[in-house]
Amino acid sequence: MKRILRFTLLLIGLILAAGTSPVSAQPEEDIKVFIDGVQLQLDVAPQVQNGRTMLPFRAAADALDIEVIWEPTARQIFAKDSNITLEMTVDSTTARVNNQMVILDAAPTILNGRTLLPARFFSETFGCVVKWDPSTRIVNIVSTPPDMKVVGFYALGDEKTSSWGDLFNSPYPNADKGNTEALSDLALGWYSLDETGQLLTQSSSGWQIPAGWEKVLEAAEKYRLKTQMVVHMTDGGGKLVRFLNNDEAVRLAADSIAEEAQLYQGVNLDFEGLGWNESGEELIKTRQLFNNFAKLLSEELKVRGLELTLTLHAPNSSYLGYDYMTLGKIADYIIVMAYDYGPKPEPENLVIQAVSQAVTQVPPEKLILGISAVSETGESLEEKLKIAWEYDLEGAALWRLGLITDEMWTVLKNY
């Protein structure tokens, strides 16, 4: 769970070893409290004090990476992590957030050994939204997820599935803000390789650079989108493995990609199909060959100040030719293609399995959850984004622009 939600849960439930003091509050046994759609099971009913809803605290320090201190003599509460320091005093309407004084709309109180705080205060302090529905007597607390990297794959499409039109909401070459606010990066699927290491801008697989590609880069810069040069290759007929076995081809490809990549902010290497039906020494060799090429390319890019992203089959897929642990040390980011499992939407249990396996080998801040838009709905997309958030991943990547519905765009903008 993300830290902001952790703070909110803490402020809903911290039990403090303190005495009692009188409080002019009325218990509201029928008030229910939800955080991100999940009802809280509270051992003390919420209170209403002078028209303000006061929520009880409950200890949750074991599950939280924050420091919480109660000073009984001064009757003060301190909560601290790397970003926020909160100081409160019981019965005082002043508090300090990061050493800046703030005025509370109701003072913290103690009732039967429990400390209660006004919902509005911790909402504003910790970036949450609190909504009170008097008809249902429900307090809804919605935590604000931190900024996520959201990568959109930009590729050729027909008139109805145009990446340009989907992203900029305008016919080429006119570029409006459109849906750009929902993305942080564009992965431009324009390049491929042949077995000899020649960099291709026109390939039989359909990965090719479009006419007027410069306009895409101009529009991306205008709307502050980072760009990645995607190099795609599949192991059809063993073509990719033969390339990786050819030292001369590997060197030529690394040099050519690094040179071309100076038009972008980084490279996204999408080598698919490795390890199919392989095992034992054969699989180990395939993994090592890919590790070697990724390392060589990474070194070339670092000299130029560019990032390397690897788009990989998920660790629970049928393609096992990817050494996640080693590649996680080489690459800046890894996109985990947790899709193509068969059913649509993609089964959550398999996506969770893929992510949970990946985070045991690669730091979560280097991992990006790959999502196939054609396999999802707006509702299921939100569930996939929650998985990325709950596992502390860096973000999500969508294949591809042109296939994202209006409902999906709304979900993305909320994140």
Which candidate, 91, 73, 75, 84, places its Cα nearest to that of 25? 91
Distances in whole angstroms, Cα of residue 54 to Cα of each of 8, 36, 88, 277, 396:
14, 19, 15, 60, 37
Strand duo 76-80 + 67-71: pairing? antiparallel
Can you give the pLDDT at residue 143? 66
Can you give the pLDDT at residue 342? 96
Residue 155 near residue 400, CB atoms below 8 Å: yes
Residues in Cβ contact with 118 at an 8 Å cutoff, skipping those fewer than 6 apart: 52, 53, 54, 55, 104, 105, 106
- pLDDT digit string, tens, across residues 328-345: 999 999 999 999 999 999
Residue 10 has φ and ψ, to the nearest 5°, of: -60, -45
Q: How far apart are CA 334 and CA 338, in angstroms?
A: 12
Residue 385 has φ and ψ, to the nearest 5°, of: -65, -35
- pLDDT digit string, tens, across residues 15-46: 333 334 444 444 455 888 877 666 777 777 78
Please give the domain boundaries of the chain with CATH numbers for all domains.
Answer: 3-142 (3.30.457.10), 149-414 (3.20.20.80)
SS3 of residue 80 by DSSP:
strand
Cα-to-chain-centroid distance, residue 394: 4
Can you give the pLDDT at residue 28? 54
Q: Any bridge partners for residue 34, and if so which?
A: 39, 140
Can you give the pLDDT at residue 23? 42
Q: How far apart are CA 343 and CA 126, in angstroms?
A: 38
Where the chain has pLDDT below 50, the residues are 1-27, 59-64
Residue 11 near residue 108, CB atoms below 8 Å: no
Q: Which two tokens stand for residue 401?
A: 């622009």
Can you give the pLDDT at residue 20? 40
Residue 189 near residue 154, CB atoms below 8 Å: yes
How does DSSP classify residue 131?
E
Tell me how crowded residue 236 is: count the other CB atoms within 10 A of its CB.
10
Q: How far apart are CA 63 and CA 48, in angstroms?
A: 29
Residue 207 has φ and ψ, to the nearest 5°, of: -80, 110
Q: How far apart are CA 236 and CA 333, in angstroms?
A: 25
Residue 210 near residue 247, CB atoms below 8 Å: no
Q: Which two tokens stand for residue 119?
A: 């919902």
Can you give the pLDDT at residue 350? 98
Can you give the pLDDT at residue 400? 96
Residue 60: CA count within 13 A, CB half-sphere: 21
